């Protein structure tokens, strides 16, 4: 499919049309807590499936006969399928009733950008990137202040001299640390430079900004740090308790006020009330826009989400120029938005990992979905690219398996970690019946996945039982229970595993894979449940498996059935694990054997 402005606009319109239909969940329980409405919800069978995770934070919730009641989702507890709503209008929904969920219209402003001057500029920036082979500034040594950076990290910072550059940061390679150094370096080297720091999520933006602030503090550039500001209403206040200089006064409060008013939209059947609501919304939007403009124009670095930068693109343009745009976790930004990022500034740095989580695209039109799912790593593959190849999270055996399966063998353990006795101690091997467990351990069960009406999805009873046995053997003896993470792609299996563990191991964290991005634990247990499912096959499936396996520091254990090995990524990981653990007989499956012996 040709990437033209017409094709991009068509794909965005198709996605917008699909998303604006909204999704529905059923209310299982409802209560008030500290003035907020707390709902436990579940997906509705036969309807478009709504994933209960942090992506729903900021989404408008509506209920009632005319959807006259509603509010803004402030918090999602995906472990317990709970959503916390700040109610803007109406009362509590009935048990068994349905709640409609409507995300904000991020795509509308993006469509408008592509239809106007910014679309022309985005196309121009892409041509410039393809044509230019020389850096725009001289590439200089970074100096003693950045002496702690590894070789590839230094190269990544220096590559910011090009019109566009890419930093690929596989798990444990210090991508966030490198972005921190990059931001501090640019602010220091170019005293008049200004940076727009973007990310697909508030977590990504907060994390990158804090890293830059850490580097500015470390390099005695506190005065510059005071010129860095976080803009938006959904930042994590806990990350800024000791960093008040990064928050612009009043922005968060006005942003929250705007979002809450937006969530209180009355039914269009109430014409006068609806018009008055629109007038209030328009007035508050102008007020908030003026505040953002004031803060942005007086700051050298402004951090916000990609969606906010697009929603307020005119405000940010007026507050410019932006000499550098840094976009972190770029693998999660849809193609048309990724193409627009370089139009916001003069030089662009994309950072992330194309082998991990991808953009969420919901429309089911194949051509449009293909275009939307392209990322900066596809669209700017010609740009100067640096892959960080030294990681310090995973033990050697796990690193080799992940590197071979997902990174063409380029990923390795950094030399400094290998020479550190404490690093090795934290990754000491575990034993069962006097035998060392392989770093990547596949332990076989015989039961295939089955659909459970009770759990509302696919489960595998035997692998849940095996996970209980694994934790019985290892928790407390080799690993602190708080440092164990159980992952599965299926929410029904997550619930089943929790039910197995709640009596003796309630403190063990059990999660779906999407929530695990960015985390790490000494022991990770990954239950694929059904490796042959479309959910785990193809490029997106490989990314999920990569996220799961690469969270581990010392050991990964995978319950599996033979059919799971039809999945190419699981099959390769199994072959690598088998070669590193050449033990025949029952002990080839140490925990199954242990369970039978007991």
Phi and psi, residue 423, nearest 5°? -60, -45
Q: In whole angstroms, what is the distance from residue 314 CA to residue 482 CA? A: 46
Predicted confidence at residue 2, as pLDDT, reads: 67
Q: Measured between alpha carbons, how far is residue 229 from residues 44, 54, 205, 467 in Å?
A: 41, 24, 11, 45
Residue with tokens 């695990």, as numbered in its chain: 516
pLDDT given for residue 593 in this prediction? 53
> 423, 395 in Cβ contact below 8 A?
no
Contact 37, 99 (CB under 8 A): no
Cβ contact 529:486 at 8 Å? no
Task: Write down how long the chain is.
Answer: 598
pTM above 0.85, yes or no: yes
**CA atoms of 334 and 337, how far apart (whole Å):** 6
- Is the distance from CB of 92 to CB of 70 less than 8 angstroms? no
Q: Give the 3-state secondary structure of residue 221.
A: coil
Q: What is the model's pLDDT at position 106?
A: 83
Residue 324: its pLDDT value, please? 98
- Please name which of 586, 513, 582 lies closest in space to residue 552, comparing C-alpha atoms: 513
* Domains detected in the chain: 22-102 (2.40.30), 107-248+299-388 (3.40.50.300), 395-597 (3.40.50.300)
Confidence (pLDDT) at 329: 95
Residue 180's alpha-carbon distances to 223, 252, 362, 421, 525, in angstroms, are: 16, 23, 33, 27, 31
Cα–Cα dist 427/413, whole Å: 13
109 vs 580: CA distance, rounded Å: 53
> d(Cα 196, Cα 57) in Å, to the nearest integer?
23
Taking the C-alpha atoms of residue 586 and residue 536, their distance in angstroms, rounded to an integer, is: 28
pLDDT score, position 597: 47
Half-sphere exposure (Cβ direction) of 61: Cα atoms closer than 13 Å: 31
Whole-number Å distance between alpha carbons of 193 and 195: 7
Could you give the 3-state DSSP secondary structure of residue 198?
Answer: strand
Q: pLDDT at position 596, please?
A: 45
Q: Using CA atoms, how far apart are residues 399 and 200, in angstroms rounded to an integer? A: 27
Pairing of strands 301-305, 384-387: unpaired
Alpha-carbon gap, residue 445 to 13, rounded angstroms: 46
Buried b (16+ CB within 10 A) or exposed e, 165-185: bbbbbbbbbbbbbbbbbbbbb
List for the chain the helix, strand, coil content (%; round to 5).
45, 20, 35
Query: What residue ranges in 461-587 does DSSP mark as E strands?
Result: 484-488, 509-512, 521-526, 552-560
Query: Of 278, 8, 253, nearest to 126 (Cα)?
Result: 8
- What DSSP state is assigned to residue 330? G
Q: Are strands 484-488 and 509-512 parallel, antiparallel or unpaired?
A: parallel
433-444: burial string, b at 16+ Cβ within 10 Å, e else = eeeebbbbbbbb
Is 127 buried (19+), middle (13-18) or exposed (0-12) by CB count in 10 A?
A: exposed
Q: Degrees (nearest 5) of the Cα angle 75, 369, 338?
A: 70
Alpha-helical runs (H) found in 264-325: 271-297, 306-311, 313-319
Q: pLDDT averaged over consecutive 10-residue blocks of the chain (598 residues)? A: 85 91 91 92 78 80 92 83 90 94 88 95 88 91 94 98 97 97 96 96 93 92 92 81 86 78 79 80 77 92 95 93 97 96 97 93 88 95 96 96 97 95 94 87 93 88 95 91 94 92 92 82 96 90 95 96 96 88 55 56
Half-sphere exposure (Cβ direction) of 584: Cα atoms closer than 13 Å: 0
Helix (H) / strand (E) element for 195: namely: strand 195-199
Report whether 310 contacts 334 (CB < 8 A). no
What token pair was written down for 248?
Answer: 């612009």
How far is residue 414's CA from residue 173's CA, in Å, rounded to a whole number? 9
**Contact predicate 122/105, CB 8 Å:** no
Place of tokens 């100067």: 384
Q: Are 306 and 199 in contact (CB under 8 A)?
A: yes
């Amino acid at each position: 499919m040709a990437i033209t402005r017409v094709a991009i606009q068509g794909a965005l319109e198709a996605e917008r049309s699909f998303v604006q239909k909204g999704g529905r969940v059923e209310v299982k329980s409802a209560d008030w807590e500290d003035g907020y409405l707390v709902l436990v919800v579940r997906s509705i069978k036969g309807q478009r499936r709504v994933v209960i995770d942090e992506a729903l934070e900021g989404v408008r919730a509506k209920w009632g006969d005319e959807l006259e009641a509603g509010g803004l989702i402030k918090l999602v507890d995906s472990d317990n399928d709970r959503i916390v709503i700040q109610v803007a209008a109406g009362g509590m929904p009935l048990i068994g009733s349905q709640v409609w969920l409507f995300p904000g219209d991020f795509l509308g402003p993006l469509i408008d950008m592509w239809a106007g001057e910014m679309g022309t500029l985005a196309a121009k920036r892409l041509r410039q990137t393809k044509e230019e082979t020389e850096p725009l500034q001289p590439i200089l040594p970074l100096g003693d202040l950045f002496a702690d950076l590894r070789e590839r990290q230094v190269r990544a910072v220096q590559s910011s001299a090009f019109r566009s550059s890419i930093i690929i940061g596989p798990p444990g390679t210090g991508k966030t640390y490198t972005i921190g150094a990059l931001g501090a370096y640019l602010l220091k080297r170019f005293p008049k430079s200004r940076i727009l720091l973007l990310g697909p999520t508030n977590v990504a933006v907060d994390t990158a900004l804090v890293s830059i602030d850490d580097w500015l503090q470390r390099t005695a550039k506190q005065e510059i740090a005071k010129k860095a500001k976080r803009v938006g209403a959904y930042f994590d206040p806990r990350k800024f308790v000791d960093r008040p200089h990064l928050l612009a006064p009043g922005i968060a409060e006005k942003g929250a006020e705007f979002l809450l008013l937006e969530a209180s939209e009355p039914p269009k059947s109430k014409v006068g009330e609806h018009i008055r609501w629109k007038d209030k919304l328009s007035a508050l939007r102008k007020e908030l826009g003026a505040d953002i403009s004031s803060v942005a124009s007086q700051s050298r670095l402004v951090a916000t989400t990609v969606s906010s930068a697009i929603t307020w693109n005119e405000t940010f343009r007026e507050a410019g120029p932006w000499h550098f745009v840094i976009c972190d976790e770029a693998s999660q930004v849809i193609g048309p938005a990724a193409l627009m990022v370089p139009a916001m500034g003069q030089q662009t740095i994309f950072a992330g990992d194309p082998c991990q989580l991808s953009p969420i695209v919901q429309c089911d039109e194949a051509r449009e979905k293909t275009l939307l799912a392209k990322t900066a790593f596809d669209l700017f593959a010609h740009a100067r690219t640096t892959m960080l190849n030294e990681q310090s999270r995973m033990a050697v055996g796990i690193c080799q398996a992940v590197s071979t399966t997902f990174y063409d063998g380029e990923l390795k353990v950094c030399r400094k970690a290998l020479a550190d006795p404490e690093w090795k101690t934290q990754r000491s091997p575990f034993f069962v019946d006097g035998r060392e467990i392989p770093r990547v351990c596949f332990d076989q069960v015989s039961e295939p996945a089955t659909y459970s009406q009770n759990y509302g999805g696919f489960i595998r009873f035997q692998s849940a039982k095996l996970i209980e046995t694994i934790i019985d053997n290892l928790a407390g003896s080799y690993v602190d229970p708080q440092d164990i993470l159980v992952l599965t792609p299926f929410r029904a299996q997550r619930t089943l595993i929790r039910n197995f563990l709640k009596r003796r191991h309630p403190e063990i964290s059990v999660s779906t894979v999407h929530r695990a991005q960015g985390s790490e634990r000494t022991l990770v247990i990954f239950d694929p449940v059904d490796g042959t499912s479309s959910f785990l096959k193809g490029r997106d499936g490989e990314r999920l498996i990569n996220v799961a396996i690469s969270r581990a520091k010392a050991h990964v254990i995978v319950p599996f059935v033979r059919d799971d090995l039809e999945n190419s990524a699981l099959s390769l990981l199994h072959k690598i694990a088998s070669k590193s653990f050449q033990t025949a007989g029952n002990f080839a499956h140490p925990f199954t054997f242990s369970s039978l012996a007991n």
